[in-house]
């Protein structure tokens, strides 16, 4: 069994005339340590997929198995604990708490489990994030790139097995985007973590080990780097057009 198994994942919003199939029987697997980029047009189902992979939302059908554990079979507090300890989330919006400094924002996930990072652990993390001189600064005193590095630190605090990032460079300029993605990629590789990034940026997608393209809630191509052609799918010409990287 692969590290991450997605089987027949389906999500529908609304009923009757307002019914929208956000995901339509999506299936794929991811090996431990892979860096996967998920691309597609706005409204194609990318963010819905990410929220289902992380157990934030519940599918109407299908399952997500992380290291053999069925994420959606867990209920209430058990799912929240599993999500907090095994999955790290990074979003386009930094979601930092304004009254907490850099160290305190990073420690939020572990503090929820009654744990404190040892001083040497925090220092190593801050050095890795290039934030060692900003440890006591509040979010309002940080640049956009620094805020996103804090958000990355928060996601890595528990050393989760899976990192899910939804447009993590969407609010950053090109230079900061390159820096943030290199930090994400190198850190995940160093810690042997699986990294899945939703993006519309072709440069980010090109750096991934694998690119999954979604259109109208379905996977239309799944390509690994250095492959001459994508894996076989039920792709159509119309799907390819609607699955463009352009938002």
Report the length, in residues, of the chain.
247
**Angle CA 51–54–58, to nearest 5:** 60
Residue 103: the pLDDT is: 96
Alpha-carbon distances, residue 100 vs 122, 130, 153, 216 (angstroms): 15, 18, 14, 40
Written as six digits, the tokens of 174 are 């090109």
Q: For the CA atoms of the chain, what is the radius of gyration? A: 18
Residue 84: the pLDDT is: 87
pLDDT digits (tens, 9 = 90+) for 106-144: 999 889 888 888 899 999 999 989 999 999 999 999 999
48-71: average pLDDT: 94
- CA 95 to CA 156: how far, in whole Å? 15
Pick the CATH number of 32-55+76-242 from 2.170.120.12, 3.40.50.300, 3.30.365.10, 3.40.50.150: 3.40.50.300
pLDDT digits (tens, 9 = 90+) for 79-102: 988 998 899 999 888 899 999 999
Count of CB atoms within 10 A of residue 29's CB?
13
pLDDT of 171 over the 90 cut = no
Tell me the DSSP string of 146-211. Answer: HHHHHHHHHHHTT--SEEEEESTTTTS-HHHHHHHHHHHHHHHHHTT-EEEEE-S-HHHHHTSSEE
Buried b (16+ CB within 10 A) or exposed e, 118-151: eeeebeebbebbebeebbeebbeebeebbbbbbb
Domain extent listing, the chain = 32-55+76-242
pLDDT of 247 over the 60 cut = no
Residue 229: the pLDDT is: 42
Question: Which of 218-222's residues contact partners 24+ apart within 8 Å by CB, and which partners?
Answer: 218/23, 218/24, 218/25, 218/26, 218/45, 219/26, 219/27, 219/28, 222/28
152-177: average pLDDT: 89
pTM over 0.75: yes
Give percent above pLDDT 70 in the chain: 91
Residue 191: the pLDDT is: 80
How sure is the predictor about 220, in pLDDT bands with cuts at 50, 70 and 90?
very high
């Amino acid at each position: 069994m692969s590290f991450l198994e997605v089987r027949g994942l389906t999500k529908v919003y609304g009923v009757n005339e307002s019914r929208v199939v956000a995901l339509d029987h999506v299936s794929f697997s991811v090996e431990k340590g892979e860096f996967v980029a998920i691309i597609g047009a706005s409204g194609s189902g990318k963010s819905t997929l990410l929220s289902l992979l992380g157990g934030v939302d519940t599918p109407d059908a299908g399952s997500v198995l992380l290291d053999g554990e069925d994420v959606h079979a867990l209920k209430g507090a058990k799912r929240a604990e599993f999500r907090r300890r095994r999955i790290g989330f990074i979003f386009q919006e930094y979601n930092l708490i304004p009254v907490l400094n850099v160290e305190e924002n990073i420690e939020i996930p572990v503090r929820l489990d009654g744990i404190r990072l040892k001083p040497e652990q925090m220092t190593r993390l801050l050095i890795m994030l290039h934030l060692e001189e900003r440890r006591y600064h509040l979010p309002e005193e940080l640049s956009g790139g620094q805020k996103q590095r804090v958000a990355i630190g928060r996601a890595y605090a528990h050393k989760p097995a899976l990192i899910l990032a939804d447009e993590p460079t969407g609010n950053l300029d090109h230079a900061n985007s390159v820096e943030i993605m290199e930090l994400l990629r190198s850190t995940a590789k160093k810690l042997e973590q699986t990294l899945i990034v939703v993006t519309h940026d072709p440069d980010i997608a090109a750096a991934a080990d694998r690119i999954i393209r979604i259109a109208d809630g379905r996977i239309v191509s799944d390509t690994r780097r250095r492959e001459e052609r994508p894996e076989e799918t039920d792709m159509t010409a119309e799907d390819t057009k609607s699955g463009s990287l352009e938002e």
